[in-house]
């Protein structure tokens, strides 16, 4: 490796074949360049998706029940499962440290609502105070449902922005009374929801009030939770999956539902949905790796070809060397050394160019799905290892051929 003579020889052959070496190097350099850029875009896509999910209450877990589809413990299928306050309290008590926001929900579809002469049919949801954050709703005017509303069974309503426009036509709504399914409610707030119009055609009232006026007793339609944030996605996913599983298990045990029944208890875990995106991203990343490596292989074949030609051209020289005592191993070393050198230099040039491009152009890319494309140190190291492996591979076959040259044939005068 640290042999002055050998380095001199390499520089000599490179100097003699500038264009050829340049073109070969170019193919390797562009291979590495493409690989790094692809990997960076993969990372950028992942960053982009991660950002998308950060914007929502991404770790929301909601539970609703339906009809059993399997017979279990002597019970027929087709049973309707109805949750109640006890389920909510159990979940709350078991996970009080982990939960961030929580609410039980009792809602009815199509509650006719009137204000003076205006009327409309909206979804009425009885909720707790935390529900504002679970929905990611923000107040335009007034306030959301609070604990004293719940404790006092107050007849207060928080209406969506769309409902406000339908009924009040830009007039002041706070403090006004609306009739929901014939019962007077005082409007205490107007909210807006990033989910858009469909999410804004709802009216929130205290959970206790809704259970009482609709004769629901302790019944709940659904439970909604978020967990406290974790340090990273993997931990968050793990915690959230564990929580979902525990919740499902508790409900199924309590209502004697078969563990394999998929319809009676439904749990929607946003993080699991996110994970699907991440898995997709990973697949895309592997694909990018594949494409990049194929490009490098094309480069390597180029280097290999050039080395074969060089060996062919130097047949006589190699013959002379062998005649005066060169061992086959030293000939192999000579060819391998040159091949690794050319690949490594070209590869580093490609690496530097791609990293420079990412450094200067990367932060400017701000689309929905690609954010700050970049590669980490590990990836850079991996590409370096790939480079050296590629150089060795490129040199191996030509080197073997060189070692097999018989001096007697090489020295024969043409």
Partner 1 sequence: MGSNSLHVLKGIDFEVAEGEMVSIMGSSGSGKSTLLNILGMLDEADEGTYHLDGKPIKNLNEKIAAKYRNQFLGFIFQSFNLINYKTALDNVAMPLYYQGVNRKIRMEKAHHYLEKVGLADWATHLPNELSGGQKQRVAIARALASDPKVLLADEPTGALDTTTSYEVMELIQGINDEGKTILCVTHEDDIAHMCKRIVNLKDGVIIDDSPVQQVRAKEAQKKALHHV
Contacts with partner 1 by CB under 8 A lie at 4-5, 9, 12, 16, 316-317, 319-330, 403, 406-408, 411, 413
Find the shortest distance in angstroms from Cβ 9 to partner 1: 8
By C-beta, is 183 or 408 nearer to partner 1?
408
Asked if 187 and 157 touch (Cβ cutoff 8 Å), the reply is yes
Alpha-carbon distances of 142 from 11, 119, 127, 153, rounded to whole Å: 79, 22, 17, 19
In this structure, how many other beta carbons lie within 10 angstroms of the beta carbon of residue 414? 3
By C-beta, is 296 or 403 nearer to partner 1?
403
Find the shortest distance in angstroms from Cβ 320 to partner 1: 5
DSSP letter for 368, please.
Answer: S
By C-beta, is 40 or 405 nearer to partner 1?
405
Asked if 205 and 108 touch (Cβ cutoff 8 Å), the reply is no
Find the shortest distance in angstroms from Cβ 411 to partner 1: 6
Asked if 176 and 116 touch (Cβ cutoff 8 Å), the reply is no
By C-beta, is 8 or 116 nearer to partner 1?
8
Torsion of CA 39, 44, 47, 48, to 10 degrees: -140
By C-beta, is 93 or 324 nearer to partner 1?
324
Nearest one of 227, 60, 200, 184 to 125, comparing CA atoms: 200
Find the shortest distance in angstroms from Cβ 1 to partner 1: 15
Find the shortest distance in angstroms from Cβ 317 to partner 1: 6
CA angle 404–410–412, rounded 5-degree value: 145
Find the shortest distance in angstroms from Cβ 19 to partner 1: 18
By C-beta, is 313 or 376 nearer to partner 1?
313
Distance, CA of 125 to CA of 133 (rounded, Å): 15
């Amino acid at each position: 490796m640290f042999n002055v003579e050998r380095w001199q020889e390499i520089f000599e052959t490179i100097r003699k074949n500038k264009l050829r070496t340049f073109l070969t190097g170019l193919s390797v350099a562009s291979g590495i360049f493409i690989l790094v850029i692809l990997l960076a875009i993969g990372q950028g896509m992942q960053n982009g998706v991660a950002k998308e999910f950060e914007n929502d209450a991404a770790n929301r877990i909601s539970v609703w029940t339906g009809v059993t589809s399997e017979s279990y413990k002597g019970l027929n299928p087709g049973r309707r499962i109805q949750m109640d306050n006890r389920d909510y309290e159990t979940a709350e008590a078991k996970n009080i440290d982990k939960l961030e926001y929580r609410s039980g929900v009792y809602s009815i579809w199509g509650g006719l609502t009137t204000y003076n002469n205006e009327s409309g049919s909206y979804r009425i949801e009885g909720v707790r105070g935390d529900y504002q954050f679970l929905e990611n709703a923000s107040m335009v005017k007034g306030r959301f449902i609070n604990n004293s509303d719940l404790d006092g069974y107050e007849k207060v309503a928080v209406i969506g922005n769309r409902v406000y426009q339908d009924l009040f036509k830009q007039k002041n709504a706070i403090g006004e009374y609306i009739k929901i399914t014939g019962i007077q409610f005082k409007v205490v707030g107007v909210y807006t929801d990033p989910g858009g119009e469909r999410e804004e055609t709802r009216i929130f009232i205290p959970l206790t009030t809704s259970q009482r006026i609709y004769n629901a007793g302790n019944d709940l339609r659904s439970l909604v939770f978020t967990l406290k944030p974790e340090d990273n996605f993997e931990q968050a996913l793990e915690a959230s999956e564990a929580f979902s599983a525990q919740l499902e298990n508790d409900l199924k045990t309590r209502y004697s539902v078969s563990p394999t029944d998929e319809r009676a208890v439904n749990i929607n875990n946003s993080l699991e949905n996110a994970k699907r995106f991440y898995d997709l991203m990973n697949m895309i990343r592997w694909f990018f790796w594949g494409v990049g490596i194929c490009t490098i292989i094309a480069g390597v074949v180029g280097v290999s070809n050039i080395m074969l030609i060089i060996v062919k051209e130097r047949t006589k020289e190699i013959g002379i060397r062998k005649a005066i005592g060169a061992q086959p191993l030293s000939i192999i070393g000579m060819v391998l050394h040159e091949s690794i050198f050319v690949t490594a230099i070209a590869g580093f040039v490609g690496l530097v160019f791609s990293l420079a491009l990412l450094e200067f152009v990367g932060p400017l890319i701000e689309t929905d799905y690609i954010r700050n494309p970049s590669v980490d140190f590990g990836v850079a190291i991996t590409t370096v290892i790939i480079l050296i492996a590629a150089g060795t591979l490129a040199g191996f076959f030509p080197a073997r051929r060189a070692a097999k040259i018989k001096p007697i044939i090489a020295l024969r005068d043409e």
